């Protein structure tokens, strides 16, 4: 099996590439990335464990239609993870989100249509549902509210064209958190952990009573890997583990970092609420293992090189 991973040098992509390289049924993995985030850890931290005989890197832009057609030669399964994902700033630069997430996906889909790819997996976002006080599932109509979520929804529309021609899976992922060597700090949990460890203070936007849906990055990777050789119905699948209020996360953080300070920003505002039903269609493909959120955060903390606020023993 030959696999293409766009965005393969990113937060989720690099770990996906590593684990795919360990799969006996995978013969070749093409990592396609433009490295605009300047995260090179795929080539360093993972280098000692990636099967070098299987992985090939192609420096390329998702809008380069000619190169996309070239790298798709002999590919069986295409994972599309390449995206602009700076969600905290998703209402600042609409052009970038449109170019990468919308038109970049369109260019890839055009190239896939002309290829021999048999399965296409598109990593979308639960943010396409917008805001809802009710529990959301795959049957809920999307209602994107930000430039980021709108661009991901348009990317889904391009991917849907492939459903008539090949097995096409759209995965709407919750907020991804957790350690990998290519760690990203766009996620609220990851940002909280970094700030708590190195500044002893976290910033809470709004009242903190807003709920979000979360999933650990390793569970995302394992779910995506499970898709490669399972025949599934072309459809939309939510991939989330649990729902938490931001203030509940803050309470856990205070248990892990007892002296933690926190600052509210625009505390009077009620920000977007979104809770997804954990009983998703994806459970038919990959049953998410249950883990303790606090324990995951403690293990995350242990990955940091040092903690300047840790107690220093006195001789």
pLDDT in tens, 185-202: 889 999 999 999 999 999
In this structure, what are the phi and psi dihedrals at residue 176, rounded to the nearest 5 degrees?
A: -95, 135
Four-CA torsion 59, 64, 65, 71, nearest 10 degrees: 0
Residue 314 has pLDDT above 80, yes or no: no
Q: Which residues contact 66 (CB under 8 A, 6 or more apart)?
A: none
The region of weakest confidence among 51-55, 216-220, 304-308 is: 51-55
Per-domain residue ranges of the chain: 2-178+214-242+276-289
Calculate the dihedral angle through the C-alpha atoms of 73, 79, 84, 85, rounding to the nearest 10 degrees.
Answer: -170
What is the C-alpha separation between 172 and 275, in angstroms, rounded? 13
How many angstroms separate the CA atoms of 81 and 122, rounded? 7
Residue 172 pLDDT grade (very low, low, confident, very high; cuts 50, 70, 90): very high
pLDDT at residue 90 tops 60: no
Q: What does the pLDDT read at residue 186?
A: 85
The pLDDT score that the predictor gives to residue 38 is 84
pLDDT band at 89 (very low <50, low <70, confident <90, very high): very low
Q: List pLDDT tens digits, range 12-66.
A: 999 999 999 999 999 999 999 999 888 888 888 766 678 778 999 999 999 999 9
Quick one: what percent of the chain has pLDDT higher than 90? Answer: 82
Residue 232 reports pLDDT greater than 60: yes
Q: Which of 301, 288, 276, 126 is nearest to 218 (CA)?
A: 288
Q: What is the reported pTM?
A: 0.94
Mean pLDDT of the chain: 92
* Predicted confidence (pLDDT) at residue 247 exceeds the cutoff of 80: yes
Under a CB-based contact definition with an 8 Å cutoff, are residues 240 and 215 in contact? yes
What pLDDT is attached to residue 99? 93
Residues 6+ apart with CB under 8 A from 130: 142, 143, 144, 145, 149, 272, 274
CA atoms within 13 A on the CB side of 213: 27
What pLDDT is stored for residue 47 in this prediction?
Answer: 61
d(CA 154, CA 110): 14
**Do 182 and 15 form a contact (C-beta atoms < 8 A)?**
yes
Superfamily classification of domain 2-178+214-242+276-289: NAD(P)-binding Rossmann-like Domain (3.40.50.720)
The pLDDT, as a whole number, for residue 79 is 98
């Amino acid at each position: 099996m030959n696999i293409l991973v766009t965005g393969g040098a990113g937060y989720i992509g690099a770990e996906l590439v590593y684990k795919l390289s360990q799969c006996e049924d995978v013969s070749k993995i093409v990592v396609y990335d433009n490295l605009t985030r300047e995260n090179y850890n795929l080539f360093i931290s993972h280098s000692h464990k990636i099967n070098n005989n299987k992985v090939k890197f192609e420096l390329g832009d998702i809008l380069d239609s000619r190169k996309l057609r070239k790298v798709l030669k002999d590919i069986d399964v295409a994972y599309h993870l390449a995206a602009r994902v700076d969600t905290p700033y998703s209402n600042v630069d609409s052009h970038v989100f449109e170019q990468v997430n919308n038109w970049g996906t369109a260019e890839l889909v055009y190239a896939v249509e002309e290829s021999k790819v048999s399965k296409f997996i598109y990593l979308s976002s639960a943010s396409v549902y917008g805001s809802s006080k009710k529990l959301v599932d795959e049957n809920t109509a999307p209602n994107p509210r930000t430039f980021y979520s709108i661009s991901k929804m348009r990317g889904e529309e391009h991917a849907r064209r492939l459903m008539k021609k090949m097995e096409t899976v759209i995965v709407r992922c919750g907020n991804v958190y957790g350690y990998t060597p290519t760690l990203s700090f766009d996620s609220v949990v990851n940002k909280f952990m970094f700030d708590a460890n190195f500044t002893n203070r976290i910033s809470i936007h709004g009242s903190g009573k807003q709920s979000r849906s979360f999933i650990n990055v390793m569970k995302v990777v394992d779910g995506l890997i499970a898709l490669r050789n399972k025949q599934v119905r072309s459809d939309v699948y939510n991939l989330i583990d649990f729902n938490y209020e931001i203030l509940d996360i803050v309470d856990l953080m205070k248990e892990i970092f007892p002296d933690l300070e926190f600052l509210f920003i625009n505390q009077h505002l009620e920000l977007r609420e979104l809770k997804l039903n954990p009983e998703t269609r994806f459970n038919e493909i990959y049953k998410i293992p249950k883990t303790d959120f606090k324990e995951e955060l403690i293990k995350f903390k242990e990955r940091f090189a040092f903690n300047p606020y840790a107690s220093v023993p006195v001789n």
